[in-house]
Amino acid sequence: MQNTEPHTPAAPRVKCVVWDLDDTLWDGTLLEGDDLSVPEANRRLVRTLDEHGILQSVASRNEPGPVAEQLSAFGLDAYFLYPQVGWSAKSASLRAVLRELNISPDSVLFVDDSEFERAEVASELPQVRCMTRQELHALVADGGVLPAQVTDDARRRRSMYLAESRRRSHEVAFDGPGEEFLRSLDMTLRVREATPADLARAAELTQRTHQLNTTGITFDEAELASLTRHPDHRVLVAELDDRFGTYGTIGLAVIGTGRTDAAAVADPHADAAPPWTIRLLLMSCRVMGRNVGSTLIAAVARLAAAHGAGTVALFRPTERNRQMLVTYRFAGFTVESRTDDLVVLSLPDERRPAVPGYVRLVVDDNPVAPRGTTKELTA
């Protein structure tokens, strides 16, 4: 029997919870001098949301100083990014949080005991989901908030946002050439073999990164896991740190190390060692302007050379990724063939892409287990 029930689209993923304070996060009203207390269920929920990578902020009609003192006294001040405390409309406070975090309204939950405040936000920002704290607890219990899987990057999300805020302040205050600013960041790019713990984040990168993506190919976790076990492939992740903290996992390279059709075009000699073919290389847009894409390309070329192989790269043009073709060309790659939807490039044997002087490159060439062994295939 055919299902005729209407399809209900899944709710967008929750990225941020914005709390009111009086009679919401805590019991009592600050300005009335009440003896305030935070219910233990709220304390646990604040910690749980944070541990699952869900950001939190505050929208409160209060004086900023007393609020800061009270949150600190409760030991909760560190959990809330860009708190909005004052006498503006709650919708204005929500807009400020959205702007600072650079997230969409449909990924935000607003929690307030006041029906009036919830109605005002719903009227001005209809995509924001508004609820009481009781409804928030119920939604979490029903599985409607927390992600099914928590990556290392998710656990560090709050600290990464804080680090990015410090970076922006440093950039605004910096007076000098662009390259000197990049040098002042003291960046380190670490490139290593992907582990099972990396695959959720790696799959997310392929699905969400478009502008700094060489082929636009997407992979899910199962496909990436299969590639990590395949003897003719390598899956590399790149992590970026600087003086302000970590950016987390911001890069991915999927490489074919056996002979492919594209490799045969670039190197038609059947008896030659097959070059490594970069099927996909991408960088998170969060590091745009850091010029670390060229550093990841250099890391792959160095690894290939260390294994006695050359380097071939595939590029599929989209409406947004032309910058990555330019990056390949500046790295020394030449075009071997071109069709409407595929460009094959190769790196001449005598060329080794340079690493910018303001980036320290660390490359780990140690797979988690011997490639192609029984141990690896059954892990």
197 plus 346 within the same structural domain: yes
pLDDT(372) > 60: no
Q: Is residue 110 part of a domain?
A: yes
49 plus 195 within the same structural domain: no
311 plus 184 within the same structural domain: yes
Please provide the distance, in angstroms rounded to a whole number, between the alpha carbons at the two ends of the chain: 42
What residue type is assigned to position 129 of the chain? Answer: R
46 plus 185 within the same structural domain: no
Least Cα distance to 76 among 131, 139, 25 occurs for 25
CATH number, domain containing residue 58: 3.40.50.1000
Q: What is the pLDDT of residue 374?
A: 30
Distance CA 194, CA 237 (A): 6
| Range(s) of the domain holding residue 240 | 178-377
Q: pTM for this one?
A: 0.75
Q: Is residue 151 part of a domain?
A: no
pLDDT digits over 131-149, tens only? Answer: 999 999 999 999 999 988 7
Element (H, E) at 312: strand 311-315
Percent of the chain scoring above 90 in pLDDT? 73
134 plus 218 within the same structural domain: no
242 plus 99 within the same structural domain: no
103 plus 225 within the same structural domain: no
**Interacting residues of 45 by C-beta distance below 8 A, sequence separation 6+:** 136, 137, 140
**Interacting residues of 157 by C-beta distance below 8 A, sequence separation 6+:** 53, 54, 55
Q: Is residue 162 part of a domain?
A: no
Q: What angle do CA 234, 357, 235 make, to 5 degrees?
A: 10
